Amino acid sequence: MRLSFIRLVRTILLLTFPFLLTPNVLEAQEQPDASHAGQDDVVKLSPAELAAKIDLLFEKSWSDSEIIPADRATDAEYLRRIYLDLAGRIPAVSEARAFLSDSNPDKRVALVSQLLDSPSSVRNMTTVWRNSLIPQASSQPEFRGLIPGFEAWLWKHISENTPYDVIVREIITTPVGEANTTGGVLTAASSPEAFYVVRELKPENLATGTSRAFLGVRLDCAQCHDHPFDRWKQHQFWSMAAFYSGFAQPVEGSAPVMAMNVAEKKFAREIQIPSTGQIVPAIFLSGQTPAWSDQESTREVLARWVTSPDNPWFAKMAANRVWGQFMGQAMVQPMDDFSDANPPSHPEVLDLLAQQFVLHNFDLQYLVRAITATGVYQRSSLQTHDSQSDPSMFARATLRGLSPEQFFDSLAEAIGFYQPFRSGNPFVLDDDSPRSRFLELYRSEAESPLQRETTILQALAMMNGEFVASATSIENSQTLRAVVEFPLMSDEERLDTLFLATLTRHPTEAERTQFTSYIQEGGASGDRGAAFADIYWVLLNSSEFLLNH
């Protein structure tokens, strides 16, 4: 918690005079293309047009189900949510003041454009996509070393907004084992190779990984036997695995597989089902037999089919995933389980999103702009009617647990904790840093942020742990001291600053009265500084701070 003197001065200035930050948020707006309006469905829609169509579909769905939706979110509520969803952290006090005092009626859309280009957003999207593509890297310590190389590769694509189909093609066709022939440890070369390593280069793991991550199809159970209620049969599973049959299998019982010395048979097209001995050819999940040629390797053929605009699942799966990422709840939930038994909550909306995603050349930022522009995304989390309780109806913003990364980066923002990655190499792993320790403590196996729960150990760390204790102590926290001791602020302004730093809003009238009188009485210990520290601690421990809402 050491701030340099210059940083301290800057903090004070920005806390006090937010206009010193000139937001250039008004330029990058995308205007609706009027020439397309009113035509049939296959026309390209601007994000605003698509958002409007989606809102119409939801209004109909709500009125059909006799649902009265929640109010529109306030600016403060929206601001906090969009920062957490896009930038992966809450806004700084200066950013909050700038937005809340901005009178531009289109400031919400403008903020999305501004954030999409920010390093925070690129970093956050990289983390989110990495967690969904190689989840094993954060849950299994032996794979943690793979994160830097994978993130370096992903970071570049996210920052350049590479079309999604190009990214996925690169994953499915990436050379494996060629860049690295040194034993033991993988180099941190920028590559999606980790996708293969965490699946131990096994054709069956790669088949389930590919179909889950990119098609939303869960084949896992069909590996061993046919399931009575599932459309996927065992031979279909192995036909998918056959696309990865080129990987030489390591000797049973040897050390964990590393992508080294792999001699891939790039044109292998069949595989043996271990339990039956039957040999099955590579066939697409759609049932079509691939058109083979000598020019295209087996994985290239698979990649072309997976990422094709005609693939029945590819675009829908991505649209569903991005929707779920911003809403907390996907239309097909769990988001990687498309099946007849698990239909989408709003099929028309999902179809429309997927269709426009394809028409916009798989532009992920387009999806983000459209989804965040909807009135659905911009609902308040405050329940005003019983009919809003079903999260799959999207009539109210849900309460969501923060991801470990969102949690720590927001805490760091709120207490002015300087995180070295901001200026230095973002790919350095430091397992002893406060960030690493908190990420470990906040790791959750919940399938959706709606199910993420606070544990007793997390509560204890926030209430009594050294990190937060130090951040809320007037002796150790320069941020708190800056707020409490800066001469030009009244106590009300100081309180306001603490609220903005933590909850991204001004205190209500009742809160202002309650907390100001607490401060003026010197709090519980007769000390004005300690009284501020108490309030800071309370704000940091509140569910309003620790949840996305």
Partner 1 sequence: MTTKFCRRQFAKYSGLSLLGASMSGWFSQLAALADETGKRPKRSCILLWMSGGPSQMETVDPKEGQENGGPTKAIDTSVPGIRISENLPKVATVMGDLVPIRSMTTKEGDHTRATYYLRTGYLPVGPLQYPSMGSFLGKSLRKEECDLPSYVSINPFRAFSPGAFAPGFLGPAWSPLVVGAQTTNNEVSFEVRNLKVPEQLTETQVDARLRMLGSLEHSFLANRPGSPGASHLQSYEQAVRMMKSQAVGAFSLEEEDSMLRDAYGRNAFGQGCLLARRLVEEGVAFVEVSLNGLDAAGGAGWDTHADNFASVKSLCEILDPAWSTLITDLKQRGLLENTLVIWAGEFGRTPKINENSGRDHWPGSWSTVLGGGGIRGGQSLGKTSDDGMEILDSPVTVPNFMATICAALGLDHTSTNQSNIGRPIPLSDHGSAPLSAILS
Binding site for partner 1 (CB under 8 A): 139-140, 221, 224, 252-253, 341, 381-384, 389, 391, 398-401, 445-446, 449-461, 463-466, 469, 473, 508, 510-511, 514-515, 518, 523-525, 530, 534-535, 537-539, 541-544, 546-547, 549
**Cβ nearer to partner 1, comparing 237 with 515:** 515
CB of 214 vs partner 1, minimal distance in Å: 22
CB of 469 vs partner 1, minimal distance in Å: 4
CB of 218 vs partner 1, minimal distance in Å: 12
Distance between alpha carbon 318 and the CA centroid of its chain, in Å? 13
CB of 252 vs partner 1, minimal distance in Å: 6
**Cβ nearer to partner 1, comparing 104 with 525:** 525
CB of 542 vs partner 1, minimal distance in Å: 5
CB-CB contact of 57 with 346 (8 Å): yes
CB of 224 vs partner 1, minimal distance in Å: 7
CB of 544 vs partner 1, minimal distance in Å: 5
HEC secondary structure over 120-133: HHHHHHHHHHHHHH
DSSP letter (8 states) at residue 310: T
**Cβ nearer to partner 1, comparing 65 with 101:** 65
Q: How many CB atoms lie within 10 A of CB 448?
A: 17
CB-CB contact of 479 with 92 (8 Å): no
Q: Comparing C-alpha atoms, which of 49, 42, 35 is closest to residue 354?
A: 42
CB-CB contact of 402 with 546 (8 Å): yes
**Cβ nearer to partner 1, comparing 136 with 210:** 136
Q: Per 3-state DSSP, what percentage of the chain is helix, strand, and coil (rounded to 5)?
A: 55, 5, 45
**Cβ nearer to partner 1, comparing 87 with 539:** 539
- Give the Cα separation of 411 and 468 in Å (integer): 9
**Cβ nearer to partner 1, comparing 419 with 541:** 541
**Encoded amino acid at 437, one letter:** R
**Cβ nearer to partner 1, comparing 248 with 459:** 459
- Give the Cα separation of 34 and 46 in Å (integer): 9
CB-CB contact of 261 with 181 (8 Å): yes
401: β partners: 547
- Residue with the two structure tokens 């992920």: 364
Q: Comparing C-alpha atoms, which of 173, 215, 165, 210 is closest to residue 193?
A: 173
CB of 536 vs partner 1, minimal distance in Å: 10
**Cβ nearer to partner 1, comparing 424 with 526:** 526
Cis peptide before 334 (omega within 30 of 0): yes
**Cβ nearer to partner 1, comparing 296 with 337:** 337
- Residue with the two structure tokens 């969904």: 132
CB of 17 vs partner 1, minimal distance in Å: 29
Q: How many CB atoms lie within 10 A of CB 202?
A: 17
